[in-house]
Amino acid sequence: MSSNFKSRLTGTMATAIMVACAASAAHAEGTINVYNWSDYIDESVLKDFEAETGIKVNYDVFDSNEVLETKLLAGTTGYDIVVPTGSFLSRQIQAGVFQKLDKDALPNLKNMWSLVSNRTSIYDPGNAYSINYMWGTTGIGYNVEAAAKRLDGKPVDSWEIIFNPEILAKFRDCGIHILDAPTELIPAALNHLGLNPDSHNKADIEKAAALLKTIRPYVQKFHSSEYINALANGDICLAIGWSGDVFQARDRAAEADNGVTINYIIPKEGALMWFDQMAIPTDATNSKEAHMFLDYIMRPDVIAKASNYVVYANGNKASHEHLDQEVLEDSAVYPDEATMEKLYVTTPYAPKIQRIVTRAWTAVKSGQ
Amino acid sequence: MAVADITSPSEEIQETSSPSSGWGRKLLIAIPYIWLLIFFLAPFVIVLKISLSDVILARPPYFPNFDISEGWQGLLAMLQAFDLENYVWLTEDTLYLNSYLSSLRIASISTLLTLAIGYPIAYAMAKAPKEWRATLLMLVILPFWTSFLIRVYAWIGILKKEGFLNYFLLWTGIIDEPLMILNTDTAIYIGIVYSYLPFMVLPLYAVLEKLDISLLEAATDLGCSPLKAFWVITLPLSLSGVWAGCFLVFIPAVGEFVIPDILGGSSTIMIGKTLWVEFFSNRDWPVASAVAILLLLMLILPIILFQKQQEKQAEASQ
């Protein structure tokens, strides 16, 4: 769930390409085809891997779980490693999309962090099919000056800013973006209503949608990637976004030195915690090389390099000593224990419930 | 066909009487039919089949997944599971009807706008001195050399709140407040009209260029004003171009996804977007296929009308 250009547009193109060449990708010897989120790795990690092993990495990117899932369900993707988010992974495992990992070929599994592995086993029991790549939260990104002015200096620390129309209305003039991700926003609204964020109950989902409809008039756009640049440029001042993406906005604003200061918070009521997992499709032709890549990624210094670059937390305990201090000590990246307690996870919806969620979301966005 | 055309009538009779060349002719005629069979009918049947299936969690995510290798057994399973529930579903939620209607409305308005802008352009091109025409034609075609996607993206930069258009209008003092065009229906109309304009101009130009000028001269000689001459001569004679242009714009505009997705707002629902959501968010290939089949049926109607019109034109000109 990282990426700068997670626009659905790329999704569209990917679909077109998918249809055009579903059975593509040649498998030369010593090659792996990796399909990861856009802007989600330090490219030098790939170069180092190629230099060390002689295996060529074909690195391709996607921008939404939906696009990845549709490709996987259509079959014969030609990819050897893909990176779905936990709740999507869980359903894909049931659909028989992935092969079990050969744990003997992955000695670096010893470096993994039980705090993360325990949570990812909700989606992938025993972590039999996947390893954690990165994890993060879905919280609030905001323009520090604009928020201070509108809240009379009160801190941004609560979902009230988003879900209380009276407060949200104050931000209308400076621009509000919300992720176009129903499976994350419905849980956030449920959490705010004091209901179980992982509720699959139709009545609950409708209550969440009703709450979201009350804030709809103040939202400029529902989009999952434009907010990064929009926050950094000062085009908008408030967004529900993914942790690392907001940090990228913060860094871009700092680089541009345009007087915009961006911050990210995990609201005190809690937030969604999600996990992007690396897995190997059943029809992968370079399974052995894919295992080598996974093991390489689990080296503490390698994954630390990636985390330092993308500012997302990883599931590798041993990597902590290699992390930049400002990444490891930032409680919005690596939440402290008290915050961790409040983070919640969600499980995949059954098709009928998924349809209700999607329909409710369409109704929220379009007013129909 | 080409072989038959260059042979003289007498030879043709001889040839058709010999069995081998008769087969050759049939084969030639069959080529377009085979083309249609492979690239139109076969995909249509596949989509139709999926639209009659049910969703399951598997790869591919629908069932029954009839394939030829299962033979009659597979066909039987398919027939046993036959129902139209995905189509019934489309009637139960107003979302689909609204999406179809909204798409038709946006496509119709865009087509009329494209015609209003494209006709004068084509007319001016056809009236331009002969040595300019090739250059003008080139200018119309030139945008195709750049990716369609990049051209649509460019409109974001023009239309956004801090975009070129607003800068320009604020600078000239025409407006005091920046216009909010991006993420509205207006932006969709601009995008469609811009992208499809060549498809309107080219058939119009082809017709207008062939227009017999002596007809207009005769009209002028007989005391007809230029405006009236346009109404009674030029416009009726260019109608086939108008029809062709309108359908070349209208049909793709109905199913348009990229332009509303990039330039439109989240409150605009169009059938292309609804189809995307069914396919990607709901992972419901059968319902997505049913939406696509209905869209196709809806578009076949204007195509038939267009064909009828063309036939009429052909008869009239004979």
The candidate with the shortest Cα–Cα distance to A279, out of A120, A95, A61, A83, is: A83
- For chain A, which residues lie within 8 Å of any Cβ of chain B, measuring from their own Cβ? 7-9, 11-13, 15, 64, 66-67, 69-70, 72-75, 91, 94-97, 180, 182, 220-222, 235, 351, 354-355, 358-359, 361-362, 365-368
Query: What proportions of chain B, in percent to the nearest 5, are helix, strand and coil?
Result: 80, 0, 20
Could you tell me which chain B residue has the CA closest to the CA of A283?
B59
Give the minimum alpha-carbon distance from B267 to chain A in angstroms, rounded to a whole number.
4
Please tell me the distance from the alpha carbon of residue A226 to that of residue A6, in angstroms, as a whole number: 8
Q: In this structure, what DSSP letter does residue A258 have?
A: S
Residue B154: list chain A partners with CB under 8 A: none
Q: Which two tokens stand for residue B131?
A: 């040595």
More confident residue, A293 or A23: A293
**Torsion angles phi and psi, residue A316, rounded to 5:** -115, 105
Strand partners, A141: A239, A264
A18-22, B9-13, B51-55, B144-148: which has the minimum mean pLDDT? A18-22
Q: Which residues, in sequence order, are CB contacts of B17 under 8 Å at separation 6+?
A: none
Query: Which DSSP helix (H) or strand (E) runs through A173?
Result: none
Whether residue B256 lies within 8 A of chain A, CB to CB, comes out as no
**Torsion angles phi and psi, residue B249, rounded to 5:** -90, -45
Please tell me the distance from the alpha carbon of residue B125 to that of residue B123, in angstroms, as a whole number: 5
Alpha-helical regions (H) of B211-284? 213-221, 226-229, 235-237, 239-254, 258-263, 271-276
Report the pLDDT averaged over residues A119-124: 94
Q: How many residues does chain B have?
A: 318
pLDDT one-digit tens code per residue, A45-71: 999 999 999 999 999 998 789 889 999
Q: In this structure, what DSSP letter does residue B128 have?
A: S
pLDDT given at position A109 = 96
- Greatest alpha-carbon pair distance for chain B in Å reads 81
Q: Are A24 and A49 in contact (CB under 8 A)?
A: no
pLDDT one-digit tens code per residue, B246-268: 999 999 999 999 999 889 887 88
Residue B247 neighbours by CB distance under 10 Å: 20
Contacts of range A111-118, beta carbons closer than 8 Å, 24 or more positions apart: A111/A298, A111/A299, A111/A300, A111/A316, A111/A317, A111/A318, A111/A319, A112/A298, A112/A315, A112/A316, A112/A317, A113/A315, A113/A316, A113/A317, A114/A317, A115/A317, A115/A340, A116/A275, A116/A315, A117/A315
Whether residue B233 lies within 8 A of chain A, CB to CB, comes out as no
How sure is the predictor about A13, in pLDDT bands with cuts at 50, 70 and 90?
A: very low
Residue A183 neighbours by CB distance under 10 Å: 21
How sure is the predictor about B6, in pLDDT bands with cuts at 50, 70 and 90?
A: very low
- Cβ distance A358 to B183 less than 8 Å, yes or no, reads no
More confident residue, A176 or B75: A176
Indicate if the pLDDT at residue A27 is higher than 80.
Answer: no
Tell me the three-class secondary structure of A149-172, residue by residue.
HHCCCCCCCCCHHHHCHHHHHCCH
Could you tell me which chain A residue has the CA closest to the CA of B275?
A12
Indicate if the pLDDT at residue A6 is higher than 70.
Answer: no
Q: Which residues, in sequence order, are CB contacts of A284 under 8 Å at separation 6+?
A: A79, A80, A81, A99, A290
Whether residue B297 lies within 8 A of chain A, CB to CB, comes out as no
Residue A225: list chain B partners with CB under 8 A: none
Which of B257, B266, B283 minimises the CB distance to A222? B266
Could you tell me which chain B residue has the CA closest to the CA of A75?
B59
Which of A73, A351, A362 minimises the CB distance to B60? A73
pLDDT given at position A299 = 97
C-alpha triplet A43, A47, A49: angle, nearest 5°: 115
pLDDT one-digit tens code per residue, B76-109: 766 776 778 889 888 988 889 999 999 999 999 9
SS3 B57: coil
Q: Which amino acid is at A40?
A: Y
Residue A13: list chain B partners with CB under 8 A: 149
Q: Which residues, in sequence order, are CB contacts of A86 under 8 Å at separation 6+?
A: A120, A122, A123, A124, A274, A275, A276, A277, A345
Which of A7, A75, A354 minimises the CB distance to B60? A75
Could you tell me which chain A residue has the CA closest to the CA of B267?
A366
Torsional class of A343: left (φ above 0), alpha (ψ -120 to 50), beta (otherwise): beta
Torsional class of A257: left (φ above 0), alpha (ψ -120 to 50), beta (otherwise): left
End-to-end, the C-alpha distance of chain B in Å comes to 22
Contacts of range A156-162, beta carbons closer than 8 Å, 24 or more positions apart: A156/A263, A156/A265, A157/A265, A157/A267, A157/A268, A158/A267, A158/A268, A158/A269, A159/A188, A159/A191, A159/A192, A159/A267, A159/A269, A161/A238, A162/A188, A162/A192, A162/A215, A162/A238, A162/A240
Q: Are A163 and A215 in contact (CB under 8 A)?
A: yes
How much of chain B, in percent, has pLDDT values that exceed 70? Answer: 89
Whether residue B261 lies within 8 A of chain A, CB to CB, comes out as yes
Query: Which DSSP helix (H) or strand (E) runs through A33?
Result: strand A31-37
Residue B262: list chain A partners with CB under 8 A: 7, 9
- Cβ distance B59 to A358 less than 8 Å, yes or no, reads no
pLDDT given at position A321 = 95
Q: How many residues does chain A have?
A: 368
How sure is the predictor about B69, in pLDDT bands with cuts at 50, 70 and 90?
A: low
**ipTM of the complex as predicted:** 0.78
Could you tell me which chain B residue has the CA closest to the CA of A223?
B266
Please tell me the distance from the alpha carbon of residue B228 to that of residue A316, in angstroms, as a whole number: 81
Compute the count of residue pairs across chains A and B with CB atoms less than 8 Å apart: 83
Q: Are A239 and A215 in contact (CB under 8 A)?
A: no
Q: What is the rounded average pLDDT for all residues in chain A?
A: 90
Give the minimum alpha-carbon distance from B235 to chain A in angstroms, rounded to a whole number.
40
Whether residue B163 lies within 8 A of chain A, CB to CB, comes out as no
- Going by their DSSP bridges, the two strands A31-37 and A81-82 should be labelled as parallel
Query: Domain map of chain B by residue range?
Result: 23-81, 90-316
A126-140, A248-262, B259-273: which has the minimum mean pLDDT? B259-273
How sure is the predictor about A7, in pLDDT bands with cuts at 50, 70 and 90?
A: very low
Q: Are B299 and B251 in contact (CB under 8 A)?
A: yes
Which of B162, B262, B282 minimises the CB distance to A354? B282
Q: Which two tokens stand for residue B277?
A: 């959501």
Please tell me the distance from the alpha carbon of residue B93 to that of residue A33, in angstroms, as a whole number: 41
The candidate with the shortest Cα–Cα distance to A334, out of A278, A268, A266, is: A266
pLDDT given at position B197 = 96
C-alpha triplet B247, B250, B256: angle, nearest 5°: 140
Per CATH, the number for B90-316 is 1.10.3720.10
Residue B177: list chain A partners with CB under 8 A: none
